A and B are shown apart, each in its own frame.
Chain A
Amino acid sequence: MEMTFAEKILANYANEKETIPGQIVTVQPAHLLTHDNTAAIIQKVDEELNKYGVYSKNLSIIVLDHVIPAASEKTAINHKKIREFVAKHDIKHFYDVGEGVCHQVVVEKGLALPGKLLLGSDSHTCSYGAVGSFSSGIDRTEAASLMLTGQTWLKVPQSIKVHIKGSLSKGVYAKDVILHIIGDISASGATYCSVEYHGEVEQFSVDDRFTIANMGVEMGAKNSVFFVDDITKQYLKSIGVNESAYSPVIPDLGASYMQTLDYDLNNVVPMVACPHTVDNVKPADQLEDIEIHQCLIGTCTNGRLSDLEIAASILKGKKIHKNVRLLIIPASKQIFQEAMQKGIIQVLVDSGGMVLPPGCGPCLGAHQGVLSPGERCLSTANRNFKGRMGSKDAEIYLASPATVAATALNQTITDPREVIE
């Protein structure tokens, strides 16, 4: 039988010849990601962990990123508990505060590989489809159970094929593409589904693919995936992973899809997701009277080197508007270092930006730039739900790094094509 990516990879992991949508399979994921929530997870099964130990010290990837450095006594105690757990159980893949946002770290350290299945107690675990992995989010209880048993059940999803053609115009980026798609199919348009990207995708770098896969969950998807090609191979090589280390999974030509969607990139313009849902998307040039108080460039969606580079190219030699605060959060220490070496950080700080440590920053509203009632933030993040960045009476808009940088100059939402020379 001809199978989709999800059907194939779940068959591999379930030791079955084939699987069909709706089937329930038992799988042992290659890795389990948890972050600051590890403290709450291990607390649930404290007794069992003491008695039986962890299933495998190679299974867990633990990255401290959500509230770093600790913002309160409570978060500090959580971090301490996690460090003690890591030492006691000799957890192999542990990244302490300052290393970066969990999803970036997982990909950057070569822990997400083509053909692998990863689960994580974070909804944006779906990001690793950028390098051809099947990855999906689960809750804390399930993560606790996985730490003990190494296995769980998954339902084989239906698949949606997104077929891309055409190319992006100047000033339009991967973020605009995914906002355009989510605006089109809605926040629930891909619920329970595996989303595969086909067609002219060679124009997307791994950074671009990361941005697109990362936001799969914002349309309800279980996972989203780009298939391994020369771009993936080159990226993996650049982080020290040779081709012999992985076996890509590619869907069969005749596989059947619940839906096929066609997008012509020539029609995509700079987009902004307006409050308070990600599918409330409008072209940036229709929002030019909206005043913004805080601009944020970073997060697991758009905190990579290419994102900071685009922002710097717009801000170089200019000053941001005096009524705007510009927060810059490199998605990892490595990106931070490269951005320093390339002079990008210098440009961003000269223009008036403020650099925060590599982590989630104010993305989830815990600290470092939360909003007051009545304030508006334009962010490169993936979610604009009411109350997410602090006050429930604040508003969050989402856009590409270029749109955020252009807006920081003008204070009102700005189509980046107006400022790009």
Chain B
Amino acid sequence: MNVWKYGDDINTDMLFPGKYTYTCSTAEEIKPHLLEDLDPTFSGKVKKGDIIFGGKNFGCGSSREQPVVGLKAVGIQAVVAKSFARIFYRSAINQGLLLIESSDAVESYQSNDEVTLDIEKGIIMINDKTFSFPTLPSEILAIQDAGGLLNYTRNKLKEQ
């Protein structure tokens, strides 16, 4: 597993350039352009289970969801940041991508540190240090448990 570390204000154009918004919408189309202008090595090297660390305001900018769809599709286990922009945060819930808000964990992480996650317990371990993160409210957990918002909506429509 790799950890990718970036700074503050990582915006949606860095995560997925706007010029592709109307030509790429499926996961396969999105993958090669992920983080293209921020880190050209990312899309070639990213592996399932990798974790991204970011600073403040991760995912700010556009409402485009390709960054989240793409990060989920390449198998990113979680994005850990000091804070997230709100549309990106909602988008992650809708796609079932785990976001962890923890300034302490971000500040503690140094390259090559060992990182492990225990989602059920709500903890992230960096070497021998443990940081806890809050679990989500029930309304939102229901969406995550269904495997994202569209599945949740489909289940609801079927019930009606």
**Interface hits, B93-118 → A, CB 8 Å:** 94-95
What CA separation (Å) do A188 and B62 show in the bound complex?
14
B residues within 8 A CB of A149?
A: 153, 156-157
| A48 and B157 form a contact (CB under 8 A) | yes
A256 in the interface, Cβ–Cβ < 8 Å?
no
Q: Smallest CB-CB separation from A40: which chain B residue?
A: B25
| A366 and B21 form a contact (CB under 8 A) | yes
| A366 and B57 form a contact (CB under 8 A) | no
| B25 and A43 form a contact (CB under 8 A) | yes
| B21 and A37 form a contact (CB under 8 A) | yes
Interface segment among A70-78, A308-316, A329-337: the answer is: A70-78
Q: Smallest CB-CB separation from A387: which chain B residue?
A: B37
B47 in the interface, Cβ–Cβ < 8 Å?
no
Chain A, residues 151-173, CB within 8 Å of chain B (1/0): the string is 00100000000000000000000
A138 in the interface, Cβ–Cβ < 8 Å?
yes
B21 CB → nearest A CB, Å? 7
| B86 and A222 form a contact (CB under 8 A) | yes
What CA separation (Å) do A376 and B152 show in the bound complex?
45
Interface segment among A140-148, A205-213, A296-304: the answer is: A140-148
What CA separation (Å) do A220 and B157 show in the bound complex?
33
What CA separation (Å) do A370 and B19 show in the bound complex?
10
A100 in the interface, Cβ–Cβ < 8 Å?
no
A residues within 8 A CB of B90?
A: 138-139, 142
Q: Smallest CB-CB separation from B95: which chain A residue?
A: A141
B128 in the interface, Cβ–Cβ < 8 Å?
no
Chain B, residues 55-91, CB within 8 Å of chain A (1/0): the string is 0110011111100100000000000000111110011
B residues within 8 A CB of A153?
A: 139-140
A residues within 8 A CB of B91?
A: 139, 141-142
| A188 and B94 form a contact (CB under 8 A) | no
| B37 and A141 form a contact (CB under 8 A) | no
A66 in the interface, Cβ–Cβ < 8 Å?
yes
What CA separation (Å) do A301 and B9 show in the bound complex?
21
Chain B, residues 13-26, CB within 8 Å of chain A (1/0): the string is 11001110111010
| B157 and A52 form a contact (CB under 8 A) | yes
| B57 and A122 form a contact (CB under 8 A) | no
B1 in the interface, Cβ–Cβ < 8 Å?
no
What CA separation (Å) do A153 and B14 show in the bound complex?
28
B residues within 8 A CB of A137?
A: 63, 87
A45 in the interface, Cβ–Cβ < 8 Å?
yes
| B63 and A123 form a contact (CB under 8 A) | yes
Within the complex, which residue of B25, B60, B63 is in contact with A122, where a contact is CB–CB below 8 Å?
B63
Chain A, residues 196-236, CB within 8 Å of chain B (1/0): the string is 00000000000000000000010010100000000000000
Within the complex, which residue of A52, A222, A364 is in contact with B18, where a contact is CB–CB below 8 Å?
A364
B residues within 8 A CB of A183?
A: none
Interface pairs (24), CB distance under 8 Å: A36-B22, A37-B64, A45-B153, A48-B157, A74-B23, A120-B63, A123-B63, A139-B64, A139-B87, A139-B94, A145-B149, A187-B57, A191-B57, A191-B85, A220-B85, A220-B86, A364-B62, A365-B17, A385-B18, A386-B14, A386-B37, A387-B13, A390-B19, A392-B36
Binding site for B on A (CB under 8 A): 24, 26, 36-37, 40, 43-45, 48, 52, 66-67, 72, 74-75, 78, 120-123, 125, 137-142, 144-145, 148-149, 153, 187-188, 191-192, 217, 220, 222, 277, 364-366, 370, 383, 385-388, 390, 392
With contacts A48-B157, A148-B153, A387-B19 known, what are 8 further pairs, Cβ within 8 A?
A121-B63, A140-B63, A140-B65, A141-B95, A142-B90, A153-B140, A187-B60, A217-B87
